[in-house]
Amino acid sequence: MIPAQVRTLVPSKLVVIPVAASLIAEVLAWAFLWAWHPSPAWYANGSLLASVHLITVGTLAMALLGMGWQLVPVATGVRPKSGWNTAANIINGVGIVGAFIFALGLAGTQPGVPSMIGATFVVLAMMARSVMVMREIFPAEGRGMIRMWIILAELSLWAGLGYGLMLLTNRFGSPILGLSPFPTIAIHASLLLIGWIGGWIVAMASILVPMFLVSPEPRSELLGPAALFWFAGVAFGWPVVWLIGAALFALAMSMSLVRRVRKKIGADLQMALLGIFGLLAVAGLMLSGLSGVLTVIAALAIFALPVLHGIGLRIIPFLFWAYAFADNVQNAPLPEQVGAPSLSRLSAYGAMVAGILLLAGYGFESLWAWRAGVLLGNISSISYLGAIVVTAFRTWQAHNRLLSLPGTEAS
């Protein structure tokens, strides 16, 4: 029988399988980026399009897909409705297959039938998942402002998918509304990267960082206005308004951290926090008007990837630990005692330095800096996977040792 404190945990495979797929996509994305020379002539470049969508759809979306199955019960404080796990397994399969077919189908000079099929799979999976999330979040009680972030993020997802469909039909030569591709790309990227992914990251960080550092969650008085400014800025293309939302969230998180009980912050949460405050650098680039591509790279490399790496390195090992020792928590080792701190640090700090090198490589058209960033990013991704595998193995070993102790056979 799973005790009350872990009753809202979903089966670990619902989280681990999409996250594993996201890591494979991340490594493939770095391979495509290695072959691309940083240049302003980026539009319709198949290699770059494939790598960007391997990161956004394959890495970020699949990671959020997996972690979201666990975050929703944590946010609501109750078990999901009947059929949640079965539907989640189906959506995981459809989404993962679709993401790889879609992203790799963009590698050529023109998209073909595979990219359209993959896009259809992804859209269906994301829409079905969104409906499931909304069904749980709307009627729940408590954490009103965090739930509002999730709801607004889901609305951004629907709008972003609509713009993505328009872009895909443009590339096929059959535009739906005849929108100009460059503004449409900016809206599409903003809605999905800042609206959906960013909104979910804020919601996850607002729950999980205080949970693991034993601090109060960010104040609703700040989270509410932050959401309004954040999503209004995204919806209407107002960078200054979005910056106010990002600054309010950073302030709310800072006030939470000051009051934390656990003073030591591990490499995983350090990286998550650096990524959160990296939002302000993203906003600065957006306001500078230097390059929209630089802003997208910054949003991916110094915000989204580091935060997801950091949170993933904490939540996935915790899932392993919770299921391994749910019936014998009092005799179990602490979660950090079965972790892989060296690999976690390499993954965490490597991701952030890689992002800085990518920005320098693109901004100064330096192939050396670009490829150094790509190489370090790949090392970070492999270290992330290694940390999870090592933690899973050490958890299994500790579980077996615990079972072998006298008097624990019945646990």
- Residues for the chain: how many in total? 411
Q: CA nearest 358: which of 43, 45, 48?
A: 48
Q: Which residue has the tokens 């302030």?
A: 251
For residue 298, the enclosing domain spans 287-401
- Over its length of 411 residues, how does the chain's per-residue pLDDT go in tens digits? 344 445 567 888 898 899 889 989 988 888 888 877 665 555 556 677 788 888 889 988 999 999 899 889 888 888 777 788 899 999 999 999 999 998 888 776 555 678 888 888 998 999 999 999 999 998 888 889 999 999 999 999 999 888 777 776 666 555 555 555 556 667 777 888 889 988 998 998 899 889 888 899 999 999 999 999 999 998 888 888 988 998 899 899 999 989 898 888 877 888 788 888 887 787 777 777 666 677 777 877 888 888 888 888 888 888 888 888 877 777 788 777 888 888 888 887 888 788 889 888 888 888 899 889 999 988 988 898 898 889 889 988 888 888 776 554 444
Asked whether residue 381 is domain-assigned, the answer is yes
* Contacts of the segment 27-31: beta carbons below 8 A, 24+ positions apart: 27/378, 27/381, 27/382, 28/54, 28/58, 28/104, 29/54, 29/55, 29/58, 29/59, 30/374, 30/375, 30/377, 30/378, 30/381, 31/378
* CA separation for the pair 32, 265 (Å, rounded): 34
Q: Which residue has the tokens 């080792």?
A: 333
Question: Taking the CB of residue 326, how many other CB atoms lie within 10 A of it?
Answer: 17
- Using alpha carbons, list the distances in angstroms from residue 48 to 37, 39, 161, 193, 300: 9, 11, 20, 17, 14
What angle (nearest 5°) sits at the alpha carbon of residue 210, between those of residues 205 and 215? 155
Question: Taking the CB of residue 238, how many other CB atoms lie within 10 A of it?
Answer: 13
Asked whether residue 367 is domain-assigned, the answer is yes
What angle (nearest 5°) sits at the alpha carbon of residue 32, between those of residues 30 and 33? 60
- Residue 197 has phi, psi (to 5 degrees) of -65, -45
Asked whether residue 397 is domain-assigned, the answer is yes
As for how many domains the chain has, the answer is 1
Asked whether residue 356 is domain-assigned, the answer is yes
Asked whether residue 292 is domain-assigned, the answer is yes
Asked whether residue 122 is domain-assigned, the answer is no
Q: State both tokens at 304.
A: 């989204």
DSSP string, 176-209: SS---HHHHHHHHHIIIIIIIIHHHHHHHHHHHH
Q: CA nearest 133: which of 91, 192, 191?
A: 91
Asked whether residue 201 is domain-assigned, the answer is no
Q: What sign does the dihedral 313-92-17-117 (CA atoms) show? A: negative
Longest Cα–Cα distance in the chain: 72
Asked whether residue 372 is domain-assigned, the answer is yes
